[in-house]
Every structure is written in structure tokens, then in C-alpha cells.
């Protein structure tokens, strides 16, 4: 059976009968192909003739374009001359004769004529000029509008109309640094030529300054209050013997400065049990009394 299970594999196949082409059909097909080729050839000949006609009229068109370009260039040069002439006028004003003058020039002319007792006469209209002038703002606006239009065109600008490429950005370590503007370093200060002032020597603080003012301060190491913790466990910069002499005398007698707070007494006994008897120079107490430091 086949894959789809409809027809057995060994079944004989029936071939379709081949179509017999007659000479008449061959002749008709040849004539149709010949007609199509002739039409394509006629279209190519017509296109070539049209291109030749356009090419023959191209010199005439080029001459016309050159004439138009010369006319436009002459007009642009004349407009540029007019714009430059009016742009040189400082503070243009309109006088009583209807013409535009520079304020400084017309005021100087009218003032000179009045100082001599003569009437100020306009050279254009031969009328007497009055000392009243009006700002010609329209001329200023027109000149500002025409200035960029009549600006001389550079050769590199005439080649292409695309905008100029942006200037290259300075190399930066990261993209965020490229977005930040460049910072100008501040100017360096000149070094002082005068001799530096002598350094003062610090004096050693007095006993009253080394001793805490309040007796209710808490111990740094144990967090408890008391006179003994304040004097022995404060952890100041003074020497341990001075703090021991400042401690009160024990109730039961004995040498001064032998009393310790309960947490430090427990620490000292614990170190004795462990057998750690190391003597260190008590340079700075870190929350321990002098006896506890001696047994560290």
C-alpha cells in the first residue's frame, strides 16, 4: 500500500496522452512572437528618436539657462549693493521730506543750518526740513531679513546643499562624559612669597582639664556609671598612674587606686584563669582600667 493507503504500490500507472501540435499552430505561435518583437523594436526606435531630439535641443536649453543665471546674478549683486548701503546707515530715521537719513547726520545738518540762521533745505525735494524725525523700523527689519539672502556664497557651499557636518566631539572615557560640556580649569593661585607663620607648640592640659567634669559619665567599655569607671576606665590620653592617684581610697583600707569596677574585676579573674599574663605598656586605655590593662 502507498503512504496514504488509497492505491496499492504495485498498481500500474496510467500515462496521460501527449498533445499533438499541428504545423498550423506552430505557424501561428511564430507569427505572434514575431509581432511582439517588431513592436518592441519600434518602441526602442521611437525612444532613441525622442532622446536624439532632446539632445539636439539641449544646447539651446543650456544657453537659456546660462542667460537666466547671468540675469539672476546681476540682480543679486544689485540687491546686495542696496542692502549694504542701507545697512551702513546708523539709526535710520524718516525726515519731513519723506526720505531716510542717518539720525546723527541729519541732526548735525539741521543743527548747523539753524546755528548759522539758515533754513535746512532737503537736497531731494528742495523743501525745508523740520527738526522732527521718525524711526524707520521697517527699513531695519527689511535689512535684517535680506542680509542672509544676499550673503556671498562660498565655493564649498555651492557644491552641496546638505548641512555642514557637526564638529568632532572630544574624546571621553564614557558616553556620559561626552554629553557634559567641557569645563575650564580655574587659574592657579600664585604662591605666597612671605615666610610662613611659626607653629605654636601645644601645651599639656592641666589635671583639671584631664579629669572629667561630671561624675555621672558612663564607662566606655562597660556602659555603667560610677567614680571608679569614670577615673580608671575612661580611656583618656593621660597616664594611668595619674588616674589611679585621683581615685578614692578603698573602704577596707589598702593602697589607693586598687578598687576596680565589677565588669573589670570579672575580666581580670577570667584572664588569670586562662593563664594569660602579658604585660604591655599602657599607651592608651580602650575601655579598661589600669589593672585590667596590666594583665592583658
Q: What is the pLDDT of residue 244?
A: 47
Same domain, 219 and 290: yes
Cell numbers 576606665 correspond to 233
Which one is predicted more confidently, 170 or 195? 195
For residue 197, pLDDT beyond 70: no
Q: Does the residue 36 lie in any domain?
A: yes
**Domain closes at, from 38, 70, 86:** 86
State the total domains in the chain.
3
Q: What angle do CA 226, 228, 229 make, to 5 degrees?
A: 65
Same domain, 82 and 108: no
Same domain, 146 and 93: yes
Which one is predicted more confidently, 177 or 150? 150
Same domain, 238 and 288: yes
Q: Does the residue 277 lie in any domain?
A: yes
Same domain, 78 and 120: no
- DSSP-derived letter for residue 216 is T
Q: What is the pLDDT of residue 166?
A: 67
Same domain, 67 and 98: no
Measure the CA–CA gap between 27 and 49, rounded to whole angstroms: 33
* Phi and psi, residue 225, nearest 5°: -95, 175
Average pLDDT over residues 117-144: 83
Same domain, 75 and 98: no
pLDDT band at 52 (very low <50, low <70, confident <90, very high): confident
44 lies in which domain range? 23-86
Q: Does the residue 184 lie in any domain?
A: no
Same domain, 231 and 284: yes
Burial 251-273 (b: 16+ CB within 10 A, else e): eeeeeebebbbebbeebbeeeee
Same domain, 228 and 283: yes
- Judge whether 121 and 127 are in contact, CB under 8 Å: yes
- Judge whether 295 and 270 are in contact, CB under 8 Å: no
Tens of pLDDT, residues 165-186: 666 655 544 455 555 566 677 7
Q: Does the residue 161 lie in any domain?
A: no
Q: Does the residue 203 lie in any domain?
A: no
Same domain, 52 and 116: no
Which one is predicted more confidently, 169 or 132? 132
Estimate the crossing angle of helix 137-146 against helix 23-87, to 10 degrees.
Answer: 140
**Domain closes at, from 104, 132, 153:** 153
Q: Does the residue 131 lie in any domain?
A: yes
pTM of the model: 0.31
Q: What is the pLDDT of residue 56?
A: 81
Q: Does the residue 114 lie in any domain?
A: yes
Same domain, 72 and 132: no
- Judge whether 212 and 230 are in contact, CB under 8 Å: yes
For the record, the C-alpha cell of 94 comes out as 524718516
For residue 25, pLDDT beyond 70: yes
Q: What is the pLDDT of residue 91?
A: 84
- Residue 123: which CATH number? 3.30.40
* Phi and psi, residue 113, nearest 5°: -65, -40
- Judge whether 271 and 260 are in contact, CB under 8 Å: no
Same domain, 239 and 252: yes
- Judge whether 218 and 225 are in contact, CB under 8 Å: yes
Cell numbers 566631539 correspond to 169
Taking all residues of the chain, what is their mean pLDDT, rounded to a whole number?
69
- DSSP-derived letter for residue 88 is T
For residue 17, pLDDT beyond 60: yes
Tens of pLDDT, residues 207-228: 555 555 444 455 555 555 555 4
Q: Does the residue 261 lie in any domain?
A: yes
Average pLDDT over residues 10-23: 69
Q: What is the pLDDT of residue 196?
A: 64
**Domain closes at, from 153, 172, 193:** 153
Burial 20-40 (b: 16+ CB within 10 A, else e): eeeeeeeeeeeeeeeeeeeee
> For residue 101, how many C-alpha atoms fall within 13 Å in the half-sphere facing its CB?
21
Q: What is the pLDDT of residue 290?
A: 65
pLDDT band at 245 (very low <50, low <70, confident <90, very high): very low
Q: What is the pLDDT of residue 243?
A: 46
For the record, the C-alpha cell of 274 comes out as 586562662
For residue 77, pLDDT beyond 60: yes
Cα pseudo-dihedral 38, 41, 43, 45, rounded to 10:
-130
For the record, the C-alpha cell of 62 comes out as 543650456
Amino acid at each position: 500500500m502507498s503512504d496514504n493507503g488509497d492505491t496499492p504500490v504495485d498498481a500500474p500507472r496510467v500515462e496521460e496522452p501527449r498533445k499533438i501540435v499541428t504545423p498550423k499552430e506552430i505557424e501561428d505561435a511564430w507569427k505572434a512572437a514575431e509581432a511582439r518583437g517588431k513592436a518592441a523594436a519600434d518602441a526602442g526606435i521611437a525612444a532613441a528618436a525622442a532622446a536624439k531630439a532632446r539632445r539636439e535641443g539641449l544646447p539651446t536649453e543650456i544657453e537659456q539657462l546660462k542667460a537666466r543665471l547671468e540675469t539672476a546674478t546681476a540682480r543679486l549683486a544689485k540687491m546686495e549693493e542696496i542692502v549694504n548701503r542701507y545697512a551702513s546707515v546708523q539709526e535710520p530715521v524718516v525726515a519731513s521730506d519723506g526720505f531716510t537719513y542717518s539720525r546723527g547726520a541729519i541732526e548735525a545738518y539741521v543743527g548747523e543750518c539753524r546755528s548759522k540762521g539758515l533754513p535746512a533745505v532737503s537736497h531731494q525735494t528742495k523743501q525745508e526740513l523740520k527738526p522732527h524725525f521718525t524711526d524707520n523700523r521697517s527699513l531695519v527689519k527689511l535689512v535684517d531679513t535680506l542680509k542672509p539672502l544676499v550673503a556671498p556664497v562660498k565655493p564649498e557651499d555651492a557644491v552641496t546643499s546638505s548641512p555642514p557636518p557637526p564638529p568632532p566631539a572630544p574624546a571621553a572615557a564614557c558616553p556620559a562624559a561626552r554629553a557634559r560640556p567641557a569645563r575650564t580649569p580655574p587659574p592657579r593661585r600664585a604662591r605666597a612669597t612671605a615666610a610662613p607663620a611659626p607653629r605654636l607648640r601645644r601645651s599639656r592640659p592641666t589635671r583639671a582639664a584631664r579629669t572629667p567634669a561630671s561624675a555621672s559619665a558612663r564607662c566606655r567599655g562597660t556602659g555603667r556609671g560610677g567614680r571608679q569607671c569614670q577615673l580608671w576606665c575612661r580611656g583618656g590620653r593621660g597616664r594611668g598612674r595619674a588616674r589611679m592617684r585621683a581615685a578614692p581610697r578603698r573602704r577596707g583600707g589598702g593602697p589607693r587606686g586598687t578598687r576596680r569596677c565589677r565588669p573589670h574585676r570579672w575580666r581580670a579573674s577570667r584572664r588569670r584563669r586562662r593563664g594569660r599574663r602579658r604585660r604591655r605598656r599602657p599607651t592608651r586605655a580602650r575601655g579598661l582600667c589600669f589593672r585590667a590593662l596590666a594583665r592583658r
